[in-house]
Each structure stands twice: as structure tokens, then as C-alpha cells.
Amino acid sequence: MAAANIEVSETPLVLYALRRADDALILGHRLSEWCGHAPALEEDMALANMGLDLLGQARELYSYAAKVEGKDNDEDKFAYLRDVRQYRNLLLVEQPNGDFARTMVRQFFYAAFADLYWRAMMASTDPTLAAIAAKSEKESAYHLRHSSEWIVRLGDGTEESHRRAQDAVDHLWAYTGEMFAVDDSERGLIDASIAIDPAALQPRWLKTVSGVINEATLSLPSNNWMQKGGRSGSHSEHLGHLLSELQSLQRTFPGATW
Amino acid sequence: MATPNTPLWEVFIRSRNGLAHKHVGSLHAADATLALQAARDIYTRRGEGLSIWVVPSNAITASDPSEKGMMFEPAESKIYRHPTFYDVPDEVGHM
Amino acid sequence: MYTQALNSSDGDDRGIEDAALAAQFQARIDADERIEPNDWMPAAYRKTLTRQISQHAHSEIVGMLPEGNWITRAPSLRRKAALLAKVQDECGHGLYLYAAAETLGTSREELVDAMLAGKAKYSSIFNYPTLTWADIGTIGWLVDGAAIMNQIPLCRCSYGPYARAMIRVCKEESFHQRQGFEIMVTLCRGTAEQKAMAQNALDRWWWPVLMMFGPPDQASQHSDTSTKWKIKRFSNDELRQKFVDATVPQAEFLGLTIPDPGMKQNANGNWEYSAIDWNEFKQVLAGNGPCNRDRIAARRKAHEEGAWVREAAAAYAEKRKGRRLAQAAE
């Protein structure tokens, strides 16, 4: 018998921590898929470093969610025993790696956001979240630096790399709007200064992103229709496959310790 | 088709403030910016450094080992350059 | 790691350029001096080392694949982080080793091209599949354990850049074997299914791991020059015996059975193992292991699919150089 899903009491603070943890885990998992397959050994090292940063963030956030929830859930139960409808990550981070351009543009869009977001979150009235933010901000800043350098090189490199980079931007753009959305659950945390309002970061995010995209001789799509749903468990088809792999051992051997 | 070469860089790391940068290894990168990032990602994963230099390997001019005699042996006989060459009476203490 | 099995000969002294230089060179080696890249060295020394170090590098890089196979399925977040960090380390080790080989005058690109073309060897062990999570524990415990036996003496190898790379590798690798053994301990203390998984992994990996040390001494004709040049300090059989003696009590601790019913301890305390199937070893080296084709195909795919990225970086670097020159001319 396969291991069953856990139940989670998604109070606003638990849900908040799970959303950020899920973002970090899923993106970290995607980056870990590159390990051994990157375009150069140097880049293999870089992708793994970013993946490890994100895994670390996920673990701290899950542990905090478990503590706040106060039941017997823990980081591994959150990661391994929730199904696709219980995951709360952004659609952006679950998108498949595709080619190196797709991976870097995804990283760039997310890091440009995460850098601003965690920096602002350092002022959270919740000391645990403020501490996680301080650590994550430095990591995100480097991810932004690294991905920006690549966006510029891919965009302004060869004809082929330009085409691939533009294709990646066009493909992923519709998943960026969700980063700035706020629902009722989160609104209360924002009002209590536990969380910050991501919508306020959008102009600065767009400025950073446009700057790099311009330097890369790329352009942002004019279509501004945005996909959403990840935060409430309505995901793309890709996440289910990712989870079936991620969770395979825990699901196959219920209750075992690894 | 043979793979084209990506330039080679030498990496120097200052492990702590107060220490000099020390050669730690090499890497390949297309330009200086990528080389610096790669050096960070490869050579400082265990907190080994606070400052990094990267230098194109072909920018280094090295002495020729076959000229070792001419280059370095003349220094060996100049023992008067070292403090232990001089006798100072013990009573004077440390100098 | 992993080069012990692959040492092969360029060892005869034919073609040595200059007998006097060669004698001086050997005198330096005998005096335990390190040889550095620009020093004079016999062509055969250069060739042997280039081959050994690059095979070692290829082994690290190909070795990422069997373990990488489980990163996305690691059963806890702690294990996932440790495994990703470990496989990343192997990438770093490959990178250090390619750099050491390059100091002998062959570029990384040439070395990699030779491997992708099937002209260069890498350790036979990586041509076996990782079927269960217990294989990850077993690789850490046994494959890395065997590697450490081989790598520690290489830290004193006569060629400076190789020795320095190995010092760094050994330092970083100190967590790898512990990581693997911890997985094994957890499995062996777990459910009956987990314990069976651990035993099955040991059954599959034991003999291939013993083969990692290379052919028996009497069949290994080329060790002499490597020993004379202080590239190799212990024979294949010496290292294999040391490994077996160290591993038997560990298996006992785990409550696992080494799949060699004929194994017995002799009067000197050494564990005598049964005959190794050297035909299997030969077949795997010849390309007929269970995963040879998959491993090379995976490396080729990464290389080919990365070509446009490397080209883009090179093109951008050229453009930027051009723009700087243009600016300077204004």
C-alpha cells in the first residue's frame, strides 16, 4: 500500500511558509536535474550550488511551517507526502528545465523577484522569517547575478543562442505575474507586518528585468496575460511528474526511515 | 569536429584577511566575469575564501626551470642577509 | 580515484631524449623531489601521466551519472542535499584533475573529445547500474572506500600538480564514504525490506568493486615504471587486500554478508577472497558492461547540447573585446 497524503492545517502562517518552501524545493529540484548534464563542468558546479541554496531554504521554511502548525508534520512529510493539489509553489518554478536558456531565464525571473522579496522580508516582525530572509537574500542576490550574466551572453551571443533565449523569455513570461499576487490569507499577514506585499515590488522587478533583457538585446513579450493557480494547488501538468519522482521511495515504502 | 578551447584561468584566493592570495587551481571560462563566478562556485564551496583573483593563464610569465642555477643559486651564498649570521652576546637579549 | 586499474604502459625508456637528463630526472624522483610542469621530463613520463590523470578525470565525470541517477529520488531532504553536494564534488574533482592533466600540455577539450570518442578509458565500476537507493549507500561505502585507498598514496605522487589536486580531492572526499556508510547503517537498522535492499546492493557491487583495483599483480606488466617514477606506490593486490581487510568488519557491523562464501582469514589476519572473474572485468573495459553505452551517450548528449551555450559565451567575449577596442580607438 502506498503511503497516504498528510493533512495540513493551512493557517495563514503555515500556508505562507509552505508556499515559499515549495517554491524553493521545486526550483532546487529542477536545478538538481542538471547535475552531470550541464553545458560545461564549471556550470555544473554553479547549478548545483544554486540548487543546494534553494534546498536549504526549503528545509528551513518547512521546519518553520511544522513548528507553527504544531502537529507531527516535518520537512520530509511536507515534501514527500503531499500530492500535487497540496503543493503551493509558483507555476514558474515547476516548469521543466528545457534547454539551458529556459533554465536560466526561469532562474533569472525568479531570482530577480526573490532577491527583492527576501530583502524586504528582513523587516518582518516574525523573527524566524526575518532570519530566513536574511540568509536567502544573499543567496538570491548571487543567483540573480549569475543568471543575469548568462542572459546577457545568451541574448547577445550567437544567432542560435539569441533565438533560444528569446524563446525562453516568451515561453516563461506568462508565469511571472503570479509572483506578485496576494490572496486573503496572505493579506492578513501583510497587514500584521509578518509578510510584505509583493505587488509593491513589481515596478522594481520590472526595472531590473528590463535592464538585463535590453542589454541582452532581447525583448519582453507584449502579451501580459498571466497564468496563475500554483498558490492554491492548481498546477501545470509538469508538477505531478516531478512529484512522482521526488516522492517515489517514501510513497513505495510507507513509514520507513531513510 | 574538435571542440574549440575555452580560455584557461588561474585562481588565487585570500582565505582570511591578513593573508596573501594563494594559487588554488585553474578553470575554464569564456571571459573574466564568468571566470570569477566559476572560481567562486568551484573553489569557495567550503568557506575557503574572502577574496578571489582570476588571471588568464597565458598572462603569466614564468621563470625557466632550466635556468634555476643562474636564477636562484647565487642567493644561497649570501648568508649575511640572514639575522642568524650575526653574533650578539646573550646578555643583550632579544634583538 | 579509480585509476589503479587503468595504469598501462608507456613505461619503457625507449625514445628518451637524453640519457643525462633522464638520469638527473630519476635522481630527483629518487630524492623525493616533485616534478613541476615546466621541468624537463621523459616523454613517456608525460604520456603516462597525461593518460592516468585524464582517465582519473573522466572517471570522476562519468562517475557523476550512476549517483546522479538518484538525486531526484533521494528519500529525504537531508539525503538529497548530501547527495547533490557529493555528486557536485565529483564534478569539481574531475575539473581539478583535468586542470592537472592540462599542465602536461594537452587541453581539456582534447582529453574530453578522446573520452567521448571512446578512445579513453574510465573506471569500469561506473558501467554498473544503480537500481535502488541502497546502491547509493553502497557506492559511498565501497566505491569511495576503495577510491580513498587508491587516492591517499597519490597525494605523494611525484608530479606536483597531480599530487596537489589529490590532496584537495582527498580533503573534500572525507565526507563521501561516511555519507554512504550512514545510508547503509540506516537501511540495515530499518525494515526487513530495507535490509534486503542493502544486502542485494552489496551482492551486486562487491565483485566489481574488487575489480576497481585492477588486474592481479602477476598480470599487470606495467607497474614497474610507474613505481620507479613514484606515480604508483602500492601494487593492485596490496591495495585490494588492504581494502578487503578494512571492509570485512564493516560488513559485519552492518549485519551484511559479503557474497564470497569461500572467504577466510589467514594466519596473518588477512582475509583471503575467492578468485575474481577477470573476464567480466575485461568485458566491461572493452565496452560490454551493462551501462557503457548509456554512460558515453549521456556524456555526449550533455556535450553536444551544451555546444551552443559555450559558443554563445565565446561569441559574446569576442564581441565585448571588439567593443572595448572600438571604444579605446574613439
Residue by residue, DSSP assigns C36-58 as -TTS---HHHHHHHHHHHHHHHH
Q: How far apart are CA A199 and CA B5, in angstroms?
A: 46
* Residue C8 banded pLDDT, cuts 50, 70, 90: very low
**Mean pLDDT on C15-42:** 88
User: Can you say how many angstroms the Cα of residue C207 is from the centroid of all Cα atoms in its chain?
Assistant: 17
**Exposure string (b/e) for C229-242, b if CB count within 10 Å is 16 or more?**
bbbbebbbeebbbb
Q: Which of A42, A146, A149 sits opposite B42 (nearest CB)?
A: A42
CB of C212 within 8 A of CB of C139? no
**Mean pLDDT on C26-45:** 94
Asked if the model's pLDDT at residue C12 lies above 60, the reply is no
What are residue B22's phi and psi, to 5 degrees? -125, 140
* Pairing status of strand B8-14 against strand C271-272: unpaired
Determine whether the interchain pair B65/C107 forms a contact, defined as Cβ–Cβ distance below 8 Å: no
ipTM more than 0.90? yes
Find cell 550574466 and name the residue: A149
Residues C203-257 have pLDDT tens digits of 999 999 999 999 998 887 656 888 999 998 899 999 999 999 999 999 999 999 9
Cα dihedral C267, C271, C275, C279 sign: negative
DSSP code of residue B12: E
Select from A41, A45, A100, A147 the residue whose CB has the most chain B CBs within 10 Å, as the one to mutate to test that interface.
A45
Q: Which residue of A has its CA nearest to C86?
A: A48
Q: How far apart are CA B29 and CA B39, in angstroms?
A: 10
Using only C-alpha atoms, chain A has a radius of gyration, in whole angstroms, of 18
Q: How far apart are CA B50 and CA B42, in angstroms?
A: 14
Residues C175-218 have pLDDT tens digits of 999 999 999 999 999 999 999 999 999 999 999 999 999 999 88
pLDDT of res. A197 = 98
pLDDT of res. B1 = 61
C303–chain B Cβ distance below 8 A for any pair? yes
Q: How far apart are CA C146 and CA C154, in angstroms?
A: 13
What are residue C157's phi and psi, to 5 degrees? -60, 150
B6–chain A Cβ distance below 8 A for any pair? yes
Chain B: list its partners (3+ Cβ pairs within 8 Å): A, C
Helices C236-254 and C144-154, packing angle to 10 deg:
140
**Mean pLDDT on C166-172:** 93
Q: Chain A window 130-169: which residues touch B at a Cβ cutoff of 8 Å? A: 142, 145-146, 149, 153
Range of lowest pLDDT (B91-95, C65-69, C281-285): B91-95
Q: How far apart are CA B16 and CA B89, in angstroms?
A: 39
Contact residues for A209 (Cβ-Cβ < 8 A; gap 6+):
A108, A109, A112, A220
Residues A144-194 have pLDDT tens digits of 999 999 999 999 999 999 999 999 999 999 999 999 999 999 999 999 999
DSSP code of residue B14: E
pLDDT of res. A49 = 98
CB of C251 within 8 A of CB of C262? no
Select from C36, C310, C311 the residue whose CB has the most chain B CBs within 10 Å, as the one to mutate to test that interface.
C310
Determine whether the interchain pair B6/A40 forms a contact, defined as Cβ–Cβ distance below 8 Å: yes
Grid cell listed for C303: 556535450
Q: How far apart are CA C224 and CA C9, in angstroms?
A: 9
Q: Chain B window 24-83: which residues touch A at a Cβ cutoff of 8 Å? A: 27-30, 33-34, 37-38, 40-42, 45
Decide: helix, strand or coil at residue C197. helix
* Residue C64 banded pLDDT, cuts 50, 70, 90: very high
Determine whether the interchain pair B25/C165 forms a contact, defined as Cβ–Cβ distance below 8 Å: yes
Q: Which residue of A has its CA nearest to B38?
A: A42
Asked if the model's pLDDT at residue C4 lies above 80, the reply is no
Q: Which ranges in chain A belong to alpha helices (H)? A: 12-32, 41-69, 75-80, 91-94, 100-121, 127-155, 159-172, 184-191, 202-215, 237-246, 248-252
Select from C109, C119, C166, C305 the residue whose CB has the most chain B CBs within 10 Å, as the one to mutate to test that interface.
C109
CB of B20 within 8 A of CB of B53? no
Q: Chain A window 223-252: which residues touch C at a Cβ cutoff of 8 Å? A: 245-246, 248-250
pLDDT of res. C17 = 59
Q: Which of B5, B25, B62 sits opposite C96 (nearest CB)?
A: B25
Cβ-based contacts under 8 A for chains A and C: 138
The per-residue pLDDT of chain C, averaged, comes to 93
Determine whether the interchain pair A149/B34 forms a contact, defined as Cβ–Cβ distance below 8 Å: yes
CB of B57 within 8 A of CB of C38? no
**Mean pLDDT on C25-30:** 95
CB of C219 within 8 A of CB of C135? no
User: Can you say how many angstroms the Cα of residue A13 is from the centroid of all Cα atoms in its chain?
Assistant: 18
Range of lowest pLDDT (A245-254, B76-85, C265-274): B76-85
Q: Chain A window 128-167: which residues touch C at a Cβ cutoff of 8 Å? A: 152-154, 156-158, 160-161, 164
pLDDT of res. A20 = 98
Q: Which residue of B has its CA nearest to C303?
A: B3
Which ranges of chain A have pLDDT less than 50? none
User: Can you say how many angstroms the Cα of residue C36 is from the centroid of all Cα atoms in its chain?
Assistant: 22
A56–chain B Cβ distance below 8 A for any pair? no
Nearest to A207 by CA among A91, A119, A113: A113
Select from A103, A153, A164, A250 the residue whose CB has the most chain C CBs within 10 Å, as the one to mutate to test that interface.
A153
Write out chain B residues lying below 8 Å of A42, CB-based. Answer: 27-29, 34, 38, 41-42
Residues C85-133 have pLDDT tens digits of 999 999 999 999 999 999 999 999 999 999 999 999 999 999 999 999 9
Asked if the model's pLDDT at residue C267 lies above 60, the reply is yes
Share above pLDDT 70 across residues of chain C, in percent, rounded to a whole number: 94
Residue by residue, DSSP assigns C146-181 as HHHHHHHHHTT-SBHHHHHHHHHHHHHHHHHHHHHH
Which is higher by pLDDT, A25 or C172?
A25
Asked if the model's pLDDT at residue B23 lies above 80, the reply is yes
Nearest to C312 by CA among A73, A186, A205, A43: A43
Find cell 551571443 and name the residue: A157
User: Can you say how many angstroms the Cα of residue B19 is from the centroid of all Cα atoms in its chain?
Assistant: 12
Grid cell listed for C118: 571512446
User: Can you say how many angstroms the Cα of residue B93 is from the centroid of all Cα atoms in its chain?
Assistant: 36
pTM score of the predicted model: 0.95
Residues making up chain C, counted from first to last:
330
The per-residue pLDDT of chain B, averaged, comes to 93
Residues B56-73 have pLDDT tens digits of 999 999 998 888 899 999
Select from B1, B3, B58 the residue whose CB has the most chain C CBs within 10 Å, as the one to mutate to test that interface.
B3
Q: CA distances (Å), B2 to each of A58, A87, B29, C117, in order?
A: 42, 46, 18, 11
Q: How far apart are CA B41 and CA B35, in angstroms?
A: 10
Q: How far apart are CA A129 and CA A124, in angstroms?
A: 7
C-alpha distance from A47 to closest chain B C-alpha (Å): 9
Own/partner contacts of A249-253, CB < 8 Å, gap of 24 or more, are: A249/C73, A249/C75, A249/C133, A250/A3, A250/A76, A250/A80, A250/A81, A250/C75, A251/A2, A251/A3, A251/A80, A251/A81, A252/A2, A252/A3, A253/A3, A253/C191, A253/C193, A253/C194
Write out chain A residues lying below 8 Å of B43, CB-based. Answer: none
pLDDT of res. C219 = 80
